[in-house]
Structures are given as structure tokens and as C-alpha cells.
Amino acid sequence: MSDAASSKSSGAARTLDLRRRPRRFERIAEAAIVAVALLSIVSVALILVFVGKEALPVLYSSVVHEEVTPLAMILPREINGHAAYLWQPVSEIPKYNIVPLFLGSLKVTVVALLFAVPTSVAAAVYCAEYASSRMREFLKPAIELMAGVPSVVAGFFALVVLASWIQRAFGTEHRLNAMVAGLGLAFATCPVIFSVSEDALRAVPQSYRTAALALGSTPTQALLRVILPAALPGIGAGVMLGFGRAIGETLIVVLASGNAALVDLNLGHSTRTVTATIAQELGEVVVGSAHYHVLFALGALLFLVTFVVNVITERALHRSRQSLSGSK
């Protein structure tokens, strides 16, 4: 920077410049690189603006309000004397209650995490703590290859194979249900949680372990009371990332959940998620209709949820990195 300034002010500096290319080329190249780097910021902004633009009419547009108001999207509707949460966008009187959809998303996500978190964290512990370095070099990439299976293929497997197994094992009422979708989702969630947790465990400085062992703890005690707690923020970040992945996943749930918008907590029942609703309905709506805007509003809400999850995760990762490196 100061170099550039001095060359402008005095001709002497210019004659000393041994660089072959003119400065201007350098500056253009740098500007181009910075401009491209800005694309990522622009992309996030464009996603916000253009999903938001189609979602916001839900709040103010009279065309939308003829069919549904924001309150009617979350409050139950009185039908035959009892309250019901209904998502029936193509019935004679369209009903756009988003409660069953978010409940459905939450249901399958919880099932996925109940399976994925213990399994993935335990696998990460084995990789980081017990496996020989050779074993680890095989295990980690092999498990991470789970992420290389496209979600539509995992969903297809859940639909054709897993659903039959689960029905045979639990005698579920519907063949495609929240449990099938959740376990299918676990397939997409496990590699995320595993990978981040393993990194977090390995980022714990060796001195922690040696100190714990020197003070007389067994390897197990060192693991459970020193290493795991130190890696906990990182593992938590992995779980959050897994949550974001699970709640935003589309193809697995659209294929395996059965897609009935029911309000109940029975895992054996068919369920409908936010993502599956957008995937199945957006292709058939009239652009600009109430249904169209409500679907975009669902997308915007989903974006907000994952955005918040991301911010929390980044903070947690940042803090854990700082605290671990600060105490080295």
C-alpha cells in the first residue's frame, strides 16, 4: 500500500520498480478477484431478496388475504365444534395452516437426530480416540462417503426397502411414515455430524490428555471428563449443522414420509414436511396466486430457520477454536 503511494508521489521510486508488468494490470486483476469474491455475498443477498419478495405478499397483499391471512396460517380453524389445523390448499375452501407442516418437519428431524447424534458422535470418538492412524485414514473418508450418495437415491432406498423393513418390524399403520423418513434422513445427517465431531475431538490439544493422564485418570476418564467436554462446542456445532441439514432436506422426505399433513405425534403415521410441500406443490400453482405466495413464505421461513442455525453454529465453532487455541 505504502509502496503504491510512494511511487505516485515521486518519480525516483518508479525507476526503482523492477516489476515487469505495469501496475495497472495488477490492480485490474486484484479488482476482478475481489469482485468475484463479492458474488457470494451478492448470492446470499439475492436469495434473501427474491425469496422474500415472493413471500412478503402473504403479509400485505389483498389477493392473498382473500384466501388466507397470516393469523389463519398458524391458528386452528373451528370445524364441527373442534379446532383443527388443516393444510388443504386445493380444496374448495383452500386452507393454508402451516402448523402441520412444521410439526412434520420437526418430527422427522427429531427422529433423524435421535438416531444420528449418538451413532455419529460415538463413531467420531472411535475414529479420533481409539482407532490406529491407519484405521482412521480408512474410516474417516469411508464414513464421509455417505455424503456422496445423492439424497434422491437415499430416499428411493427408504421408499422401497427401509419402509418395508420398518413396517414388518413395528407393524406401523402407514407404510410410509415419519419413522421411515426420519431414518432415511439420518443417512444424510450422519456424515455431517460425524465429520464435524471428529474434527472437534482431534482439535483438542494433546496436552489436555497428557495432563489428565499424568494426574492419574484412566484413558476413559480422560476421554469422558476432559476431552469430550473440551470438544463439546464443536460437537454441538456438528449437531446444529445436522439439524439444519435434516430440516432442509427435501428428496428423502418427499419420497419416504407419505406426505399426509396430519397433526399428531405418532411416528407410525404418514407425515408431510415443509420442504416436501414446496417440492410437490410449487410446480402446479398459478404464479402470483395465494398458494404461490404461501409456498414462498414457507421457503422464507425455512431459510430463516437454517440461517439462525448457521449463525449459532459459526459462533460456537469460532468460540471453541479460540478457547482451545488460547489455552494451548
Please return the burial class of 96, using the count of CB atoms within 10 Å of its CB with bins 0-12, 13-18 and 19+: buried
The correct pick among 4, 8, 14, 30 for binding another protein (CB under 8 A) is 30
Burial 187-202 (b: 16+ CB within 10 A, else e): bbbbbbbbbbbbbbbb
Q: Measured from the CB atom, is 252 or 262 closer to another protein? A: 252
- Give the footprint of another protein on residues 82-121 (CB under 8 A): 118-121
Candidate ranges 4-12, 64-72, 271-279, 320-328; the one touching another protein (CB under 8 A): 271-279
Residue with grid cell 443477498, as numbered in its chain: 45
Residue 307, Cβ neighbours under 10 Å: how many? 14
Candidate ranges 6-14, 35-43, 77-85, 93-101; the one touching another protein (CB under 8 A): 35-43
254 sits near another protein (criterion: CB under 8 A): yes
Closest approach of another protein to the CB of residue 271, in Å: 16
Q: Measured from the CB atom, is 50 or 170 closer to another protein? A: 50
Angle, CA of 290, 291 and 295, to the nearest 5°: 115
- Give the footprint of another protein on residues 177-196 (CB under 8 A): 187, 190, 194
The correct pick among 36, 93, 169, 286 for binding another protein (CB under 8 A) is 36
Q: Measured from the CB atom, is 75 or 152 closer to another protein? A: 152
Closest approach of another protein to the CB of residue 241, in Å: 7
Q: Measured from the CB atom, is 84 or 211 closer to another protein? A: 211
Contact between 211 and 279 (Cβ < 8 Å):
no
Closest approach of another protein to the CB of residue 93, in Å: 26
- Give the footprint of another protein on residues 224-253 (CB under 8 A): 241, 244, 247-251
Closest approach of another protein to the CB of residue 12, in Å: 19
Q: How far apart are CA 328 and CA 237, in angstroms?
A: 21
Candidate ranges 5-13, 57-65, 84-92, 272-280; the one touching another protein (CB under 8 A): 272-280
Closest approach of another protein to the CB of residue 138, in Å: 10
CA-based nearest residue to 227, from 203, 243, 254: 203
Binding mask of the shown chain, residues 124 to 163, with x at each position contacting another protein by CB under 8 A: -xxx-xxx-----x-x-xxxxxxxxxxxxxxxxx-xxx--
Q: Measured from the CB atom, is 147 or 260 closer to another protein? A: 147
Q: How far apart are CA 260 and CA 270, in angstroms?
A: 6
The correct pick among 113, 278, 290, 294 for binding another protein (CB under 8 A) is 278
The correct pick among 76, 232, 282, 289 for binding another protein (CB under 8 A) is 282
166 sits near another protein (criterion: CB under 8 A): no
Contact between 217 and 225 (Cβ < 8 Å):
yes
Contact between 95 and 69 (Cβ < 8 Å):
no
* Cell of residue 129, nine digits: 480416540
Q: Which residues contact 86 (CB under 8 A, 6 or more apart)?
A: 77, 79, 95, 97, 100, 261
Q: Where are the alpha helices (DSSP H) in the chain?
A: 2-9, 11-16, 23-55, 57-60, 62-67, 70-74, 99-125, 133-144, 151-157, 163-170, 178-203, 206-214, 219-221, 228-248, 251-256, 274-281, 290-326
Binding mask of the shown chain, residues 39 to 78, with x at each position contacting another protein by CB under 8 A: xxx-xx-xx--xx-xx------------------------
- Give the footprint of another protein on residues 3-22 (CB under 8 A): 18-21
Q: Where are the alpha helices (DSSP H) in 56-177?
A: 57-60, 62-67, 70-74, 99-125, 133-144, 151-157, 163-170
